[in-house]
Amino acid sequence: MRPEPALLLREGVSPVDADAAPATTRPTTDLPQETLDYFGGDDLRAHVFFDKYALRDPEGRILETTPPQMWRRIAREIASVEPTAARQADWEEKFYWLLDDFRFIPGGRIMHGAGNPKRVTLLNCYVLPVHDDSIESIFEWMKEAARTYSLGGGVGTDISVLRPRGAPVNNAARSSTGSVSFMELFSLTTGTIGQSGRRGALMITISDSHPDVLDFVRVKRNLTKVRYANISVRVSDAFMQAVESDGEFALEFANERAGLHRTIRARELWNELIKGARDYAEPGLIFWDQIKYWSTSEYNGMGVITTNPCSEIPLEPYGNCCLGNVNMACFVSDPFGPQPRVDWEHLDPALRAATRFLDNVLDYNADKHPLPAQKAASLKSRRIGVGFTGLGDMLIKLGLKYDTEEAVGFVDQLFERIKNVVYDESVNLACEKGVFPAYDADKHLAGRFVATLQPLVGDRIRR
């Protein structure tokens, strides 16, 4: 295998700008007429392109006024890692076709960063670990996060390693203020470091068995706290079973410095989670045991520890998001007609080109990561995410109602095929370029998700 693909099955969610929120709600830049004309007078869409993605020189002068100019730049830059001039020219045209008419929408940092004279990363987001339960690790995290934000990346982190409130400490304090108390520091770091008029993006997670989990769930009910982060609880199968049976659930923490253990009724925590979701839209739930169960990378240092800020991809320490979405609405033959069908003649090569495109991004971005550890993680696992958008529009064009059994069955079959095409192209890249450095055939093939691939694809991986 070459890159480690991950299919991001979230309808309508694009990695474009997913991991950085705008600092203002209304753009102020005057639009060139050709930009407004391209978008048919749609001021909002024109501003999104012009303010966020159109290339500027170091002095801020505009160099692009329409998406085709942007697509040409991106295609040329991402093809530049090919080994010969002839292959670069060939793949530039293939990538341009892929990008043209929004057939494929790369992550927003790719569109912003490819060919940009400024020092920016092309990857939307990273996972940064808190290495251990110490003041030094907490502030090292803040330094690494600030550097990551400054180059355009978002951050996901997990605070389960930090001792809970009331645990003993070996300093001037009587006891620890707890893991949750440091969330505000993390949040303020995120809100302070700017990204060209945007703030950073942060996801903070915690284990459901951490003694501070109830404080964590309630922290954002004070609307002045942790304003610059999303929060989610990593939920285990054991917790969900305890909720169903109305049983007790153990909260525990232990390391060489401190230890705490107590039990609660599982439904006490569950009710607080539901109240938060209903009243405050947070925290989210991440079904962590299921993620680990289906993960393709739980070996050779690639085991996932939390997610990126939008939760669509679990990552290892310093792992990063190399993502893009195939626009399914572009791949319907005879749309709205008597015999509409999926345009596999063009969707298949688009999926394969997208897989290579994202793998090329890893090499193009190798020296653009904010931190050396991020570069090492990226090139070790070569993890990519081929996702999708426009599924609802595809179903409309095919004459399928979104909520019918027919549509659900169609989507199951569609993505079964997409999954196998993407993995098959990953094998092609491995044959051409070599497997990703952390690859272990036996461990990879033992993965439960890999076992769901078509036998032909699985056999190609095995060989």
Would you list the domain boundaries of the chain? 4-33+97-120+321-462, 130-307
Which amino acid, one-letter code, is at 266? Answer: A
Average pLDDT over residues 157-163: 96
Q: Which pLDDT score is estimated for 254?
A: 84
Q: What is the pLDDT of residue 67?
A: 97
Q: Is a pLDDT exceeding 60 seen at residue 357?
A: yes
Cβ neighbors of 211 (< 8 A, separation 6 or more) are 164, 165, 251, 252, 253, 260, 261, 262
Q: Is the pLDDT of residue 77 over 70?
A: yes
Q: Please list the alpha-helical segments (H only) found in 390-436.
A: 391-397, 405-433
pTM of the full structure: 0.90
pLDDT given for residue 407 in this prediction? 97
Tell me the C-alpha distance between 138 and 159, whole Å. Answer: 10
Least confident of 1-15, 295-309, 416-430: 1-15
Q: Give CA 51 to chain center in angstroms.
A: 23
Mean pLDDT of 315-337: 97
DSSP letter (8 states) at residue 56: B
Q: Cα separation of 445 and 439, whole Å? A: 10
Distance CA 329, CA 317 (A): 35
Question: How far is the CA of 375 from the CAs of 122, 398, 416, in angstroms?
Answer: 12, 42, 32
Condensed to tens digits (0 to 9), the pLDDT of residues 417-436 reads 999 999 999 999 999 999 99
CA distance 43 to 36: 7
pLDDT at 256: 67
Mean of pLDDT over the chain: 91
pLDDT confidence of residue 349: 98
Query: What's the pLDDT at 168?
Result: 64
Asked if pLDDT for residue 114 goes beyond 60, the answer is yes
Q: List, by residue number, the catalytic residues.
A: 308, 310, 312
**Would you state the pLDDT for residue 293?**
95
pLDDT value of residue 461? 85
Report the b/e string of 57-82 with b at 16+ CB within 10 A.
Answer: eeeeeeebbbbeebbbbbbbbbbbbb
| Pair 156, 304: CB distance under 8 Å | no
Q: Which residues contact 276 (CB under 8 A, 6 or more apart)?
A: 217, 218, 220, 221, 282, 283
23 has pLDDT over 50: no
What's the DSSP call for residue 3? Answer: S
7 and 354 Cβ atoms separated by less than 8 Å: no
Quote the percentage of the chain above a pLDDT of 70. Answer: 90
Residue 226 backbone zone (phi > 0: left; psi -120 to 50: alpha; other: beta): left
- In angstroms, the CA 72 to CA 53 distance is 13
pLDDT at 174 (0 to 100):
66
Residue 224 exposed, middle or buried by CB count within 10 Å (0-12, 13-18, 19+): exposed
pLDDT tens figures, 209-226: 999 999 999 999 999 999
Alpha helices in 18-134 (DSSP H): 33-38, 43-52, 67-79, 85-99, 108-113
Q: Are 30 and 62 in contact (CB under 8 A)?
A: no
* Beta-carbon contacts of residue 24 (< 8 Å; ≥ 6 apart): 197
What is the predicted pLDDT for the residue at 195?
A: 54
Whole-angstrom Cα distance, residue 68 to residue 70?
Answer: 5
Give residue 197's pLDDT: 59
pLDDT tens for 253-277 read: 987 666 788 999 999 999 999 999 9
For 18: left if phi > 0, alpha if psi spans -120 to 50, otherwise beta; the answer is: alpha
| Tokens matching residue 27 | 């753009």
Question: Which among 98, 39, 14 is positioned nearest to 390, based on CA atoms?
Answer: 14
How far apart are alpha carbons 135 and 151 in whole angstroms?
A: 25
Copy the structure tokens of residue 444: 């990879």
* Gap between the Cα atoms of 267 and 243, Å rounded: 5
Q: Inter-axis angle of helices 67-79 and 344-364, to 10 degrees?
A: 60
Q: What is the pLDDT of residues 29-59, one digit of tens each?
A: 589 999 999 999 999 999 999 999 999 999 9
Residue 21 has a pLDDT of 42
Window from 133-142, 234-243, 272-281, 449-458 with minimum mean pLDDT: 449-458
pLDDT-based confidence at 317, cuts 50/70/90? very high
Averaged over 174-193, what is the pLDDT?
Answer: 90
Class of domain 130-307: alpha beta
pLDDT of residue 76: 98
**What are the φ/ψ torsions at residue 410 (nearest 5 degrees)?**
-60, -45
26: pLDDT strictly greater than 50: no
